[in-house]
Amino acid sequence: MKSTARIRRWFRLDSESLTPYRTRIVAALSLPAALLLLPFTMTHLLYGRWGLAVVIAIAQVVLFVDGRAASRNLPPPVPHLALATILMVVVFASLAFQGINGALWAYPTLFICYFILPRGRALGVSSVIVIAVSLIAYDSLGVALAARLAATLALTLAMINVVLNVIDDLQQALHDQAVTDALTGAYNRRRFDEELARVELTAAQGQTCTLLTLDVDHFKRVNDTYGHAVGDEVLRRVSALIKARKRRDDMLFRIGGEEFALLLPGCGATEAAALAEVLRKRIEQAEMPAGQCITVSVGVANHIVGDTPEAWARRVDAALYLAKRQGRNRVIVSGSTAPAEPIQPVSV
């Protein structure tokens, strides 16, 4: 089991970094590949190698129709797995008819498999190609040449996976950069909006979820008195205190200048309010830059089935503004105290 898990991690069989680009890749490669194979089809016909000519011609037709569909953003008429299988048969037939010259087609076929198939299937098909080519070469070309083919094909397969792993890492780094606040390391507003929308789907399955919003009290005063460098350090310290106390699946966001949000999946309002109170006290008692006593006001609202992200955010914001109006440095749960008049934002 552990070895299987290591293999899956190394080959990243569940990674689909190329999926959004697969249609574009198929459109770009299929039509030129179909044209490139035409001279070989004609040559085999002229020399009477009818079987090989027919196999390559079938591959050309499939490449053409799939490439044409991809260029129009249509589903492939021939499934990509079938296309990969046909290309694999072309390699085997070329090797059987032409010896080492036919084996050369195995190398581009390995790359094509990873471009057109999900990574797990690509690994399966490419492994079959490496093993089958090696066995056919051993039977027809001898041990020495078969060993060289096996080694170079295996090395090519390993290189493809290494490059794809690097692409996965770069894509993940770019994604993290796009959804992370550079100052505090918390997620940013963009990721916050995505997660609120996702909660609607999980709520339909019966999962509870609660949202906290925490706003640093009198933060403008800190910036005006001590400068923005001290203010930035206060925000980093507040973020670190929240991260140290949150659960593994909880998500912290910086959604405004001095405003944070904490999304608590599987947590009810009562438990969330208790956590909010712990956070409030920890921040109040923490050592802060310039010896400041920093406090936060917190609004709490659990998700109600049928809530839109906007309605949920409005309810937690109303609780936060009520905490501000009642004197700051406190936790208010949505619906626990009804204000006498509509809540209006107050200066912080």
258 is catalytic: yes
- Between CA 17 and CA 169 the distance in angstroms is 9
Query: Looking at 16, 195, 258, 341, which residue is catalytic?
Result: 258
Q: Annotate 17-32 with three-state secondary structure.
A: CCHHHHHHHHHHHHHH
Candidates 196, 251, 257, 197; CA nearest to 232 is 257
List the alpha helices (DSSP H) in 47-142: 50-71, 80-98, 100-103, 106-116, 119-140
CA angle (237, 175, 317) in 5-degree steps: 50
The residues, any chain, with a CB within 8 Å of residue 237's CB and separated by 6 or more, are 286, 288, 289, 294
The residues, any chain, with a CB within 8 Å of residue 220's CB and separated by 6 or more, are 347, 348
| Secondary structure tally for the chain: helices H, strands E | 13, 5
- Between CA 154 and CA 161 the distance in angstroms is 11
CA angle (85, 87, 89) in 5-degree steps: 70
- Between CA 286 and CA 323 the distance in angstroms is 21
Tell me 49's DSSP state.
-
- Between CA 191 and CA 252 the distance in angstroms is 10
- Between CA 216 and CA 105 the distance in angstroms is 64
Contact between 117 and 80 (Cβ < 8 Å): yes
- Between CA 196 and CA 198 the distance in angstroms is 5
CB atoms within 10 A of CB 119: 22
Catalytic residues: 258
